Structure 1
Amino acid sequence: MSVAATGIARVLSIAGTDPTGGAGIQADLKSIAATGGYGMAVVTALVAQNTHGVRSVHVPPVAFLAEQLHAVSDDVRIDAVKIGMLADVHVTRTVRDWLTQVNPPIVVLDPVMVATSGDRLLTQDAEQALRELLQQVHLVTPNVPELAILAGAPVATTWAEVLRQAQQVAGEHGVLVLAKGGHLAGSLVPDALVDAYTVREFPGMRIDTPNTHGTGCSFSSAVATRVAARTSTGAPSLADWADAIAEAKLWLTESITHADDLAVGSGHGPIHHFAGLWQRGGVSTRPTPARVAERWWEEIRDIRTATDDLPFVRGLGDGSLPREAFVWYLAQDALYLSEYSRMLALASRLAPSAAEQTFWAASAQGAIDTELELHTSWIADGVLAGVLPSGTTTAYLNHLVAAGAGGDYPVLIAALLPCFWMYQDVGTRLHPLSHDAHPYRSWLDTYADEAFAAATDRAIKIVTTVAAAADEPTRDRMARAFRASAGHEREFFAAPLRG
């Protein structure tokens, strides 16, 4: 499937390793993931290095390199390739041959010749092979010393010299050049997208930190990922490249800004690839609606157990409950349902979707119907007019009103849910104990009814879906409101026989 179909760019990094995780393939994979892509990796060299520099390089057989490359491309559609450390002429030519066969739509080359520490990472006899590789590359991203090698010129000391060398390389090799000013002196750190005729500059300010290890690897991988994400069909335009570089630079700046937070190593530490993501999105896994339902139901197990043990509930099940206690309960429940229906109507007004609005409005009408049909069949006309709400009823209703105050839809519906869920649970479990002569069969029929079970399932789905999509503080407030309502339900069942 294409990037347009999935929304995710599949980016292959071909590079060396860094056991400290700050540069090379490890940095590439972090950068690709942080900027919205799916990262894959083929290793060209095993590098023994840390934040102080490179100690040694081991290059595996190129036949194995070729096997890695073809293992990926034989199976996975590759949207972009980022090439980093190539180590020697044989590795470079193996990669070039693979590019010729596969012809990836986007190829970004970070010509890793000289590390930030000053270590030489590419043998001199491989430099010509790398220049030949430029013919199959769309964008090359050299730092200032690497650009000088590609241009066959002294290392530039001014931004104007950097741009002249970049245009020279672009013209000679027919490739776009991302010129980078990070190695120049001064507080300004400009970058530029350069071809043989035009220059598009991206200004920047130097960030005061020694922790910039892997910046070049990370920047080039981010650009490859962003341009692939922007290009669903055909080759990227110059504008696509420019937009991708601008996006990648914003991400890189944020990652460098927070580099000191990592405290990795005692030398030049790595950038913080995920600083922005962790800050804005957190690291907690978002639960599914089913997991929310399971967790909330388990978290009120103590309340449910205590409810089952109440004399009122046991007497309701076996029919031994005194009639006067049941009538008192129904009178209080009628007062409760009158206000509860208003809270359901409020939920309908606050609901963000038509389906939710319809459900809560229908539930409000259902609460009124229950009051009229069930309660009036037990309570004589005019009796309710003289009934005052008990302290238990008042406390529960005050809780619901507080939950709806300020238009907090998620918290309100979480507070409304136990009146569905606990009643349906109690009614369903007690109903098998009833019989035709059971004095409270009509109550049990009402709450064990299939229609009420379906409404309860719908209420659970709506509330838990909202909770799963909410941020963690909102989800916590919802859970607290749910548990508080469950506690009020227990007290409501306890009240008729208290005293």
Structure 2
Amino acid sequence: MSPLSTASVLPAPAAVSTSAVSDVDTNVATSRNVPRVLAIAGSDPSGGAGIQADLKSIAASGGYGMAAITALTAQNTRGVSGVHVPPASFLTAQLNAVSDDISVDAVKIGMLGDEQVITAVRSWLEKVRPGVVVLDPVMVATSGDRLLQESAEAALRALLPLADLITPNLAELGMLLGEPEAASWPEALEQGKRLAAGTGATVLVKGGHLDGDDCPDALVNTGGLLSADVVVVDGERIQTRNSHGTGCSLSSAMATVQARLGDWEESLRTVKPWLAGALRTSGQLEVGSGNGPVNHFHHLPSGGLTSGGLTTAGALQREGAFAELLRAEAAPDLEAIFGLGFIKGLTDGTLPEKEFAYYLAQDAIYLNGYSRVLARASALAPTESEQLFWAGSAQQCLEVESELHRSWLSTRSVQTELGPVTKAYVDHLLAASVSGSYAVLVAAVLPCFWLYADVGESLHARYVAAGAPAGHPYAEWLRTYADEDFAAATRKAIGITDAAGLAGSPAERKAMLTAFRQSCRYEVEFFDAPRHHADREHRPDPVS
């Protein structure tokens, strides 16, 4: 959603968070900015999988990681050469030592090894009852090495109902059901439904081991806990030989983000683009001669400038440093936007007009509220130049809203009621506008400039690369995305925010990061709202 162009009906992203804020002690499954996440899994001395991958994923996803070791392995990027399982009583001692002192917000369970270990974990779970439990049923490594004794398979199946989310690979999904491995995506989804129905848990069906350019994942729950029995999140296959620890990383990140957001669908849409980036940049690590690890911290700027580094002396003495940090924070959500069906349909012209019209109607409502927020930024701005910039942007928002109604909405039957995502986004911006902090406010409004500009530029480039096909229903819309005035305004907004971050205190920079991340998250949800609205309209009314 750009405030400066009639093409400005597009929003922007959020990133796997690394913020710190509250320290409320509770075991209830409520959102936490820094969830305390316990990984129960085996150790990988090469650092790519197991506990080592779990702790990296938890940290990359904004959590505080803890670990209880179930097994020691001798392995590297070429495979597993040995496994040692310590006594189960010592695992129990580890688990009790953690939970007797620390409230555990989420648990990720990986390699368990044998029946005694599984029994120890089950007893602890039944006693502690963590708010979020993700079970990655590690039975067979990607290399083909068996990591669970066959005698323990029945005990593992009995553990499944204690999990909130189960994340098997396709081979493990078949083994848990006592069936052959699925050979196709529809077959895998059917297996996921059977496992979900049999356990009561949500199952994450992963398409990574299938052939083809697409790499979808799906959340499956037949008990009505999701917006549909099967929620598919599309993705592109990343061609790389470095996928060691992908399953461990995905499951621990899902546990962490779920403890932050409290929504499995939202969690998967957050984690999936982060993991895609970790695979895409894995070659930069240059670890091992076999199947190397993924790059867990690809989303952080180089040179150690992390959100933690914001408090160190001199970390932000260079112009542009804070903008670099924001850019890295937004990258995963920009990927998420490009993976949405709305964007794909808008690009190739297959987007149903009803969904596009709903999007425009919500954008018109949004822009009305956004103009008030920009006017508030103008009132708080410390210089005349910035006052004029924000005031001009506010005026443009109102003009765009009028144009939307005149050119599209007035000629079509469109629902104009305030949608839930639109309301949440505008409420967030209005809260930032009354915080009294100019710096926090400009950080909150920046995604509507920056990320929209990136999306618009890419969409226009794709349209041109396709030969600007005649008859494209959204051709006029796509042509307006190549707007140099808006690009210049975006650069101005980035510069203002960067300067505010440079001048601010560590506490204010932290608040700016939080506001920016939240706006980015709402941008992704805004793009996806038309699909959810269409799903609700097509869903049959419940039988009374």
Say yes or no: does 1:227 pair with 2:227. no
Q: Secondary structure at the match of 2:183?
A: coil
Say yes or no: does 1:54 pair with 2:80. yes
Q: Distance in 1 between matches of 2:154 and 2:94?
A: 24
Task: Give the deviation of 1:7 after TM superposition.
Answer: 1.8
Q: Which residue of 2 aligns with 1:265?
A: 288
1:282 to 1:147, Cα distance in 2 relative to 1, 3 A: same
Q: Which residue of 2 aligns with 1:309?
A: none
**Count of aligned pairs between the two proteins:** 315
Say yes or no: does 1:255 pair with 2:278. yes
Q: Which amino acid aligns with 1:53?
A: G
Q: Distance in 2 between matches of 1:463 and 1:5?
A: 31
1:248 to 1:56, Cα distance in 2 relative to 1, 3 A: same
Q: Secondary structure at the match of 1:275?
A: coil
Q: Which residue of 1 aligns with 2:297?
A: 274
Q: Distance in 2 between matches of 1:280 and 1:249?
A: 25
Say yes or no: does 1:151 pair with 2:177. yes
- Native 8 Å contact 2:40 2:51 kept in 1: yes
Counterpart selection for 1:212 from 243, 259, 262:
243
Task: Give the deviation of 1:78 after TM superposition.
Answer: 0.7
Q: Distance in 1 between matches of 2:100 and 2:243?
A: 36
Say yes or no: does 1:78 pair with 2:104. yes
Partner deviation per Cα, 1:166-205 (whole Å, 9 max, x = no partner): 1111111211100001111222211110123611111111
Partner deviation per Cα, 1:95-146 (whole Å, 9 max, x = no partner): 0010011111111000000000000000001100000001211110000000
TM-score (norm: length of structure 2) = 0.53
Task: Give the deviation of 1:5 after TM superposition.
Answer: 8.2
% identical aligned pairs: 50
Say yes or no: does 1:19 pair with 2:30. no
Q: Which residue of 1 aligns with 2:203?
A: 177
Task: Give the deviation of 1:464 after TM superposition.
Answer: 7.7
Q: Which amino acid aligns with 1:97?
A: S
- Native 8 Å contact 2:30 2:259 kept in 1: no
Q: Which residue of 1 aligns with 2:514?
A: none
Q: Which residue of 1 aligns with 2:187?
A: 161
Q: Distance in 2 between matches of 1:7 and 1:468?
A: 17
Q: Secondary structure at the match of 1:182?
A: coil
- Native 8 Å contact 2:310 2:506 kept in 1: no
Task: Give the deviation of 1:41 after TM superposition.
Answer: 0.5
Q: Which residue of 2 aligns with 1:338?
A: none
Task: Give the deviation of 1:286 after TM superposition.
Answer: 3.9
Partner deviation per Cα, 1:195-247 (whole Å, 9 max, x = no partner): 2361111111111100000000000111111111013xxxxxxxx11111111
Q: Distance in 2 between matches of 1:355 and 1:128?
A: 57
Q: Which amino acid aligns with 1:228?
A: A
Q: Which residue of 1 aligns with 2:130?
A: 104
Q: Secondary structure at the match of 2:301?
A: helix
Task: Give the deviation of 1:31 after TM superposition.
Answer: 0.4
Q: Which residue of 2 aligns with 1:63?
A: 89
- Native 8 Å contact 2:37 2:63 kept in 1: yes
Task: Give the deviation of 1:288 after TM superposition.
Answer: 4.9
Structure with greater helix share of residues: 1
Q: Which portions of structure 1, spanning 4 or more consecutive aligned residues, are displaced by more than 6 angstroms?
A: 350-356, 406-413
Q: Secondary structure at the match of 1:135?
A: helix
Partner deviation per Cα, 1:313-345 (whole Å, 9 max, x = no partner): xxxxxxxxxxxxxxxxxxxxxxxxxxxxxxxxx
Alignment of 1:58-457 (within 5 A): 58-196=84-222, 198-231=229-262, 240-278=263-301, 282=305, 286=309, 288=311, 291=313
Q: Distance in 1 between matches of 2:237 and 2:499?
A: 49
Task: Give the deviation of 1:465 after TM superposition.
Answer: 4.0
RMSD: 3.5
Q: Distance in 2 between matches of 1:276 and 1:252?
A: 10
Task: Give the deviation of 1:73 after TM superposition.
Answer: 0.6
Unaligned runs of 5+ in 1: 232-239, 297-345, 357-405, 414-461, 471-499
Q: Distance in 1 between matches of 2:506 and 2:436?
A: 14
Task: Give the deviation of 1:61 after TM superposition.
Answer: 1.0
Partner deviation per Cα, 1:354-385 (whole Å, 9 max, x = no partner): 899xxxxxxxxxxxxxxxxxxxxxxxxxxxxx
